[in-house]
Amino acid sequence: MEEQKKLLKDRGLEVLRVLGEGAFGRVFQVRNERLGVMAAKIMEESKFEYSEWQAGIQLTRNVQNPFVLRYHEATLNGQNVLILMEYSNMGDLEDVLESKKDIPIPMIRVIMKHILEGLKIMHEKGLIHRDIKEPNILLHSPPGSGRVILKICDFGLVKKQQKGGVPVAMSFGGTPGYFAPELIIAAARGTVAASGKVDIWSAGVILFHLAARDDPFNSVPEMLQPLARPNTIKDDLLWDLLKKMLQVDPNDRISAEQALKHSFFTSKQAMKEISPVGMKIAIASQQAKKHGDRSVTFYDEKPTFTLPLVEMKQFTKKDPEADQQYQQQQQLGQGQGQGRGRHQQKGRSPSPAPGQQHHSNSHSNSPKPKQGHFQRDYHQGNRGGHHQGHQGGHHQGHQGGSPDPMAGQDRFTVPNPMTDDYAKMLIKVITGGHRLTQQQVNSILAQSLPILQALPNIIDVNVPDGKEITVVGDIHGQFFDLQELFRVNRGKPSNFHPYIFTGNYVDFGSFGAETFLILLCFKLAFPQHVHLLRGQHESEVRTKEFGFKNEIEDKYNNATYREFLRVFNALPLCAVINHRAFVVNSGLFSKPNVGLDDIKQINRQVEPESDVGEKLMAQMLYSEPMEEDGVKMKTNSFGCQFGPNVTNEFLNKNNLQLVIRSNTAKSQGHSVQHSGKLTTVFSAPSFVRDSDKGAYLRVLGQNLEIHPYKFSSVQALPAKMYFDPITCRSQ
């Protein structure tokens, strides 16, 4: 930190205090004689897309508008990037959403006017923001003004738009939950082109959050359907504006300029609902302008743009008056202490101003919009425009409040032994749109291999009476759906929340690497409570055919792919719960009288398709149940079809009660066959056409009762496809 303070001092900046620290940097409140109080963000250049940010700041230099945060400069100083920006003293719009109070329509009206006015000027200048969301809308109260201004921030993804609003090609970026449908459709086709209308869509999502305290869509297919009006939105004009902002076709979507002329803002009712306090503030601004106050803007005189501080303070814990008083005390202390602040004279670090809590406050646990498909918790990583560390437009820093579990550690060095905190941090990195580094991938695979190789073919799992274990079926690279499963199932794997995963982690979906690596992290962190079984698709034959090989060679290299195969070969083949439930990826055997002892003797650390002799391992990964008795060998496959009599014989032979399997897609995520003795679970929603359901099982320890739970697909980051569903070939 001292080196960073010296860097600021050398730039003629007086450090007032630290505002926040994140995974990728530190933010200071600083003062300059000419520019006044600012925020200064310092990050390591290796962990930050400096060129993108510098380009974004250059593009926005000519945007002079109170609703767009002003960035003074982005400079590279040795290994550090320094960004100087306008200081904002009241947090961000997500702080308002996190309050427990309903936001009144008049306040929503002014909030949206500020956002749309900022977008209007950006679009007039030919700029697309591309990452409009609540954490990128900062709140600021100019000292002594009595009002609050919303400011659009975070220009790391800004793109120059062609004249006439013609869609422009761009790299994919932004935050899931706020993506416009044209971005998702274009990305799926391998090209991304968009106009400023993508910002209007994102602003419409914010409006829905403010009005309904919920997410507007539960899935991508639902996004493409006409917007359904929730019971919580009573205002007809607001609803009409929402529909116009959330039009699927960007050509039908309203522009920022058109939105500001909408009746929601201009009707007689809207004029009647202007806050009396806001009216007084506007009149005072008009009088001040008459008396020569050049700081008064056009918007200050308009009561329709006035957001009274006294009203906004009900929705945020930030106190701008206390912040201003603190700055004044610091300035006075600098004079009295011969260059040291009042809090520094006795060797103490500066304390936050009352109510500021180091400016970033704590991340409230109060209710948020429904934790559904567009849940911001895991999709964006953290909050706060310039308040936390930042990487390339996706917030990854720690949010104040509870201690950062990774503080002081190198985020790019995988801990050994693995920790739960590190696994969760990686989830935030992935959901923020970043790949794991080659070093991280190598380390996770290297740690996992000996752990898995030491395990037996059959994992004995004990679930005590009164407890339960979750069994998860096929995932197939649907990383974001896996996170949704964790959410609806009350949590990620832990010592108190055991899981069995039946395999088929990769292929078909675009995030096979991330899915499998995160599960390996949880296995390493909780080795006795997370069990990863081998699936049919954890093999060289399948991954060459269905996309995973291409995925790894595209993201990393062939050597990394070979390391994945080594880990696949080390995965156990099955599990037995409480000596009664047999859990396997696919099925049973064509040969009669196969016992658990036979399975224990299999050499599993080879490719299943090369399994010699009776091919027991291959059949465990390829066989499927059928309704009639008997066995039928499958053509062009390594398995068989087996009937109820085969299931009964296997269970009786091994003193078991039931079989739990996966590897067969189900429209509702699960099915029961063979007189209730065989259950199939499939946990990749939207895999089956015309269905977005997946399922998982909770198995009770006392009597092995199985309780299936369905969940729906969620919006994922658009990504390159490595398997073509049309040709059914790897691509």
Per-residue pLDDT reduced to its tens digit, 116-143: 999 999 999 888 998 999 989 999 988 8
Name residues whose C-beta falls within 8 Å of residue 517's C-beta, 6 or more positions apart in sequence. Answer: 426, 436, 440, 441, 444, 445
Domain boundaries defined on the chain: 455-730
Predicted local distance difference test score (pLDDT) of residue 692: 78
pLDDT one-digit tens code per residue, 222-242: 788 889 999 999 999 999 999
Give CA–CA dist 731/719, Å, rounded. 13
User: Can you tell me whether residue 394 is helix, strand or coil?
Assistant: strand
Residue 41 labelled as part of a binding site = yes
Regarding predicted confidence, which is higher, 195 or 611?
195
**Percent of all residues in the chain with a pLDDT value above 90, rounded to a whole number:** 47
Give whole-number Cα distances, 182 to 177, 226, 318, 705, in Å.
13, 15, 37, 45
Q: Evaluate whether the domain defined by 455-730 bears CATH number 3.40.50.150.
A: no
Share of the chain above pLDDT 70, in %: 79
pLDDT at residue 361, as a whole number: 32
Q: How confident is the model at residue 373 (pLDDT cuts 50, 70, 90)?
A: very low
- Distance between CA 223 and CA 686 in Å, rounded? 14
Q: What is the pLDDT of residues 88-127, one digit of tens each?
A: 888 889 888 887 688 999 999 999 999 999 999 999 988 8
- The band of 662, judged by pLDDT with boundaries at 50, 70 and 90, is very high
- pLDDT at residue 432 in the model: 81
Q: Which pTM was predicted?
A: 0.54
| Pairing verdict, β 693-700 and 468-472 | antiparallel
Residue range 205-218, pLDDT digits in tens: 999 999 998 889 87
The least confident of 291-295, 418-422, 488-492 is 291-295
pLDDT value at position 388? 35
252 compared with 172, residue with greater pLDDT? 252
pLDDT in tens, 433-442: 888 999 999 9
Predicted pLDDT at 679: 97
CA–CA distance, 388 with 131 (Å, rounded to integer): 16
Distance in angstroms (rounded) separating the CA atoms of residues 82 and 62: 20
Beta strands in 141-226 (DSSP E): 149-152, 159-160, 168-169, 193-194
Q: What was the pLDDT predicted at 22?
A: 60
Q: What is the dihedral of CA 137, 138, 142, 144, to 10 degrees?
A: 110
The β-bridge partners of 642 are 625, 631
Average pLDDT, the chain: 82
Pairing of strands 71-77, 390-391: unpaired
Q: Is 625 helix (H, G, I), strand (E, B) or coil?
A: strand
Place of tokens 């201009």: 266
Catalytic residue numbers read: 537
User: Is the preceding omega at residue 415 within 30 degrees of 0, hence cis?
Assistant: no
> Nearest 5 degrees, angle CA 441-CA 443-CA 444?
65
- Please count the CA atoms within 13 angstroms of the CA of 9 that sit on its side-chain side: 9
Does the pLDDT of residue 368 top 50, yes or no?
no
Mean pLDDT of 81-86: 87
pLDDT in tens, 593-618: 999 999 999 999 888 887 665 689 99
